[in-house]
Chain A
Amino acid sequence: MQVDIIIAGFGGQGVLFAGQLLAYAAMDNGYHVTWYPSYGPEMRGGTANCTVIIADEEIGAPVVGSPQVLLAMNRPSLDKYESSVKPDGFLIINSSIIDRPVVRKDVHVINVPANEIAEKIGDKRMTNMVMLGALLANLPLLSIETIVSELRAHLPERHQKLIPANIRALTEGARFQLEPV
C-alpha cells in the first residue's frame, strides 16, 4: 500500500503544516511516511507545496510524478498539477478561490468552499484544516481524531486555544465525502 498526496497552494495557506500533520499522524499510526516540501525561492509570497507519501513498506522515491491525491488550495496549483493526478485519483478543490472547473473526467473531484467555511467558523487560517478534513473523509487511512491529537502535540502553545476551531474545520470539511461508487 502506498498513497501519494500533493498539497499545494499559496505561501501562508498552511500547506506545509497540513502536510506535516498528515505525516505525524501516519508515523504515529505505524506507517512509513515522507514529507518533502518545495523549498525554492518561490516560497516567499508565492506558491508552496509538499508531497506526503504514506506506505506500509520502506518508501523509495520521495517525489512522485503522478499523485493519487491532489489538494489544490488555489488556481495555480490546479493548473500545475491537474494533468498529473492518477486516473481514478482524488482532486480536492478549494472552490472558494478556484474559479474554473476541473477538466479531467477520470478523477474524483471534491469541491470544498474552504475559505467560506473557515470564515464562518471565524478564522480564515482554518482553510487548510477544512481541506484536510475533506481529504481524510475520502481517504480512509487516518482518522480525524488522530489529526486532532497531532494538533494537540504539535501546535505551538500560543495556538492551542485554536484547537476547538480546528476540530470544527476538520469536521466541516469531512462532510464533503463522495458517495461510494
Chain B
Amino acid sequence: MAKELLKGNVAIAEAAVRYGLEAYFGYPITPQTEMLEYLSKRMPELGRVFVQAESELGAVNMVYGAACTGARVMTSSSSPGISLMMEGLSYIAGTELPAVLVDVMRGGPGLGNIAPSQQDYNQITHGGGHGDYYPIVLAPASIQEAIDYIGLAFDLSEKYRSLAVLLIDGSLGQMMEPAELPEMQPVRAAYPHWAARGATGRGRIVHTSIYLNPIEQEKTNFRILSRWREVQANEVRFKEYYLDDAEYAIIAFGTAGRVALSAVRAARAAGIKVGLLRPITLAPFPGNAVRELAKRVQSLLVVEMNNGQMVDDVLANIHDQTPVEFYGRPGGNVPLADEILAEIERIVKGKLTLNGHPRDRWLDRMLTKS
C-alpha cells in the first residue's frame, strides 16, 4: 500500500481495525481522544463493537468481559485515565486473558497537563495494578512503528495470554508522518479453546481472577511467570544506531529516542563516536543488549521524558561496570537535540563516577541551572 500522511492516534486506530480489532471500549482524554473519536465512526461502519463507556473503569471492565470471549479487544487512554484502569488491568492479567491497551502519555503526576511525557514507564512496565503480572510493553518512535507494533501487540498478547501495551507519548499521538497501513485483514474465524462464546455442546468455561485457595493462586502465579520467561527469551526487540564503533552510547525510547538520534548525528558530525540503543520492548527489557553495550563503551547516557525511570532498569543490568549518566525532562517537556548534545559533550569530557545515583547528579545539575 502507498504511504499516507497519518496522525498517530488515527493511524493506530485504523491499523488496529485492519489487524482485526473486534471490540473497542474507551473514554475520551487528551492527547488520545482522536483514537476513540475515529473508532466511534469506523467500528460501527464495519459492524464491530464500539462503546464509549461512562468512565475508564467502565471501559476497562468491558474490555475484561469482551476478552473472555476471545475477541481482539482494545482500549486506549492517557496517563490519569490509565491510572483509573489499573484495577481492571490486574484482573485481566490475573485471569490470563489477552487484551491490548494504548497509553498516550501526558505530563504529570496528578491531572498534570496534556503535553508529551514518558511518565508512565514504571507504572506500565513494573505493574501499576496489584500483584505479580507482566504486561508486554512496546514503545514505537514513529507513526510507522506505531502501526506495526499495534499489530504485534495483538499477536503477542494472544500468543502469551497476556496484556500488551503500546506506550507512546502525546507527540506521537498528535504528529503526522508518512506511513503505510497494512492491508485489511479478516476478523479471525476461529477462537481459542478457552473462549466463552455460548455453552451449547460443551462444558463450563470459567474465567476468574479469584483463587480463594492460596495454593491454587500460587500455581496461577507460577504459570503467569513461566509464560513471562518465554516472553523474555523470545520477544526482546530494540534498534541500534551508530553503535559499531561507538565509544559512548545513549539509551532512550520512543520520542526521547528519536530526539537522541538527532543529537547523535550532530555529535558524529563533530567527530564524537557516539551511538544509540533504542529499546522497542520496554518489557521484556533488552537487558542483555544493554549489558553487552556497557562492556564496549566508556560511558552510557540514559535520556527520558521523566525523572529517570528506565535508568533504574539500565543500572540493574550493568552492575556498576560502566558510568551511567541521566538526562531527563519531566512534566510534559520534550528535550531538544541541543540539550542532549550538550550532555554528550559533557560525558565525553570524562571525570564520571560510579558512585551515587545518576538521577541525583542530574537533579543537582538541573537545580543549579534554573
Contacts and interface: CB of A to CB of B under 8 A. Distances in A.
A51 to B, nearest CB: 9
Contact of A62 (B115, B175, B260, B263): B175
Nearest to A154: B5
A20 B177 CA distance: 10
How big is chain A's contact interface, by range? 20 to 34
A63 B334 contact: yes
A62 B171 contact: yes
B337 A36 contact: no
A27 B179 CA distance: 10
A61 B114 contact: no
Interface in A10-50: 20, 23-24, 27, 32-37, 39-41
B19 to A, nearest CB: 23
A27 B262 contact: no
A65 B336 CA distance: 6
B259 A61 contact: yes
A18 to B, nearest CB: 13
Given A39-B30, A61-B262, A34 B177 contact: yes
A53 B263 CA distance: 16
A64 interface: yes
Contacts of A60: 258-265, 337
Contact of B115 (A20, A34, A40, A64): A40
A155 interface: no
A80 to B, nearest CB: 16
Contacts of B262: 60-61
B261 A36 contact: no
Contacts of B171: 36, 62-63
Interface residues of B, number: 27
Nearest to A32: B178
A3 interface: no
B3 A34 contact: no
A39 B174 CA distance: 8
A61 B5 contact: no
Contact of B175 (A34, A40, A58, A64): A34
Contacts of B114: 39-41
Nearest to A66: B338
A157 B263 CA distance: 43
A162 interface: no
Contacts of A62: 171, 175, 255, 258
A122 B103 CA distance: 46
A59 interface: yes
B259 A24 contact: no
Contacts of A23: 5, 176
Contacts of B175: 34-37, 62
Contacts of A61: 258-259, 261-263, 334, 336-337
Q: Which 9 A-B pairs give the minimum distances between C-beta atoms?
A: A60-B262, A60-B261, A61-B259, A35-B176, A65-B336, A61-B262, A27-B178, A36-B175, A61-B337
16 contacts: A20-B5, A20-B176, A27-B5, A34-B176, A36-B175, A39-B30, A39-B31, A59-B177, A60-B261, A60-B262, A60-B264, A60-B265, A62-B171, A62-B255, A63-B171, A64-B336
